[in-house]
Amino acid sequence: MRRRHELCDLLDERRPGYSLPQPFYNDPDIYALDIEGVFNACWLMIGFSVELPKPGNYLAMTIGRTPVVVIRDRAGAIRGFFNSCRHRGAQICQDGTGRAAKLVCPYHQWTYGLDGRLLHAGAMPENFDANDHPLRPIHVEVVAGAIYICLAQTPPDFAPFRRALEPMLAPHGFENAKLAHQYVLVEKANWKLVMENGRECYHCAANHPELGISFPIGISANMSIEDDTRMRGYCQRMAAHGLEVGPTDGSWWQIARFPLNEGMISMSPDGAPLVKKPMLDLDGGDTGSLRFSIEPHNFCHALGDYAFMFSVLPVGPEETHVVAKWLVHEDAVEGVDYDVPSLINTWDMTNRQDRDLAENNQRGVNGLGYLPGPYSPKAEGLVLRFIDWYCERMRAHIGAPSARIAEVA
């Protein structure tokens, strides 16, 4: 393990406004510290409450190297646990979704309730106390149908984010939705390069022709479009529907509603809605997009007709999984009200284009010729915000003093 003072030196070496020194993008020891200091410490967005419709439905996944399971208990609440048996540590639920009355370890059948209590362990001696061996809980928060988890014992304060997101997201009816599609895209790039890519649209004009049809690629860091007249009109129209526009943010989250390009109603090949049964049935679906995002790893877009989730999970210093999910109204019928290829087209094309860019970025950054370069304050404000946040997070993790951070444009 690279010594913490070395990481501290590297953080000090970073020039404000510039990308990170090379080791942050490929060093195995820094990667290990990223897992510790970021993914084991921060809130992460992993999916939607409608993925767990009934008690016993679960969603299992691996964060870094840590298997976790999120499950709806008998009372209907969503709970989370480390997905490792308290006996010999075997993974209890396979990654993916399923339903179980009790959680039974496949190895020696240690059996846990949906609340995590150990109910049965065979062949153990009399002095064995099942109460000492419950599944270890993780923190779970559900906001208007979006599920957030945190593996830390003491998570960052979630309340301000909830207060801001809940009223803005609630009208989108995530609790009356269904998962229409999901996939995992493997990217041979450090998770921070994947995130930097997802935090700016400076690269969109040349690389994302499909996304650029509907997405205002010149949008500012606070999600304001360049045409002030249109922006004002949009705000008035949203206000008339009681929809907050924002923007609002905290150190690790950002929420804003913004209009799409003129005449565009959805992020779709031609700007027209892709789902006949809308999630937010106002103005014919012309409500722009509610973008909500958290550091270190996620953004979502809630449109009138569908919602899209993009969450990054690191799997190695130079490998990252992108988990992509699409929600539609629960009553929308596949093949009648929507079809999956059209529904996912815009973001799927964009994801694959971004994968190629991130992998190419990784190859260049790995070279002796790489020097940290300047971010554009105008076009890369959210990248800078992400990288500054990351540096502060790592300083806090290793107990180093905070740097003064330049104001984000």
- List 82, 253, 338, 386, residue binding its own copies (CB under 8 A): 82
Binding-site size for its own copies (CB under 8 A) equals 60
Q: How far is the CB of 237 from its own copies (least distance, A)?
A: 30
- The answer to whether residue 133 forms part of the interface with its own copies (CB under 8 A) is yes
- Choice from 176, 363, 396, 406 touching its own copies (CB under 8 A): 363
Stretch that binds its own copies, among 221-229, 231-239, 252-260, 377-385 (CB under 8 A): 377-385
Nearest approach, Cβ of 65 to its own copies (angstroms)?
4
Taking CA 51 as the corner, what is the angle to CA 162 and CA 322, rounded to the nearest 5 degrees? 80
Which run of H or of E encompasses 239? helix 228-240
- Judge contact between 384 and 376, C-beta under 8 A: no
DSSP secondary structure letters along 126-147: TT--GGG-PPPEEEEEEETTEE
Q: How far is CA 330 from CA 73, 173, 239, 323, in A?
A: 22, 10, 27, 21
Closer residue to its own copies, CB minimum distance, 158 or 370: 370
Smaller CB distance to its own copies: residue 206 or 239? 206
Task: Decide whether 56 or 372 has the Cβ nearer to its own copies.
Answer: 372
C-alpha to C-alpha distance for 354 and 134, rounded to whole angstroms: 42
The CA–CA distances, whole Å, from 22 to 26, 36, 68 equal: 7, 20, 31
Q: Is 14 in the site for its own copies (CB under 8 A)?
A: no
Name the β-bridge partners of 71.
Answer: 58, 79
Contact between 357 and its own copies (CB under 8 A)? Answer: yes
| Binding test (CB under 8 A) with its own copies, winner from 90, 282, 315, 405 | 90
Enumerate the H helices of 284-406 as residue ranges.
Answer: 340-365, 381-398
* Alpha carbons 82 and 31: distance in angstroms, whole number: 21
Residue 124 interacts with its own copies (CB under 8 A): yes or no: yes
Our CB check for its own copies shows the closer of 310 and 375 to be 375
Q: Which is nearer to its own copies, 125 or 401 (CB)?
A: 125
96 binds its own copies (CB under 8 A): no
Find the binder of its own copies among 128, 163, 176, 251 (CB under 8 A).
128
Is there binding between residue 97 and its own copies (CB under 8 A)? no
In this chain, which stretch among 202-210, 250-258, 287-295, 388-396 interacts with its own copies, using CB under 8 A? 202-210
61 sits near its own copies (criterion: CB under 8 A): no
Q: Give the distance from CA 186 to its chain's centroid.
A: 15
Burial of 391 (0-12, 13-18, 19+ CB in 10 A): buried
Give me the least distance between CB of 104 and its own copies, in Å please: 9
- Contacting residues toward its own copies, per CB under 8 A: 19, 40, 62, 64-68, 81-92, 94, 106-109, 122-125, 128, 133, 136, 138, 151, 196, 202-203, 206-207, 357, 360-361, 363-380
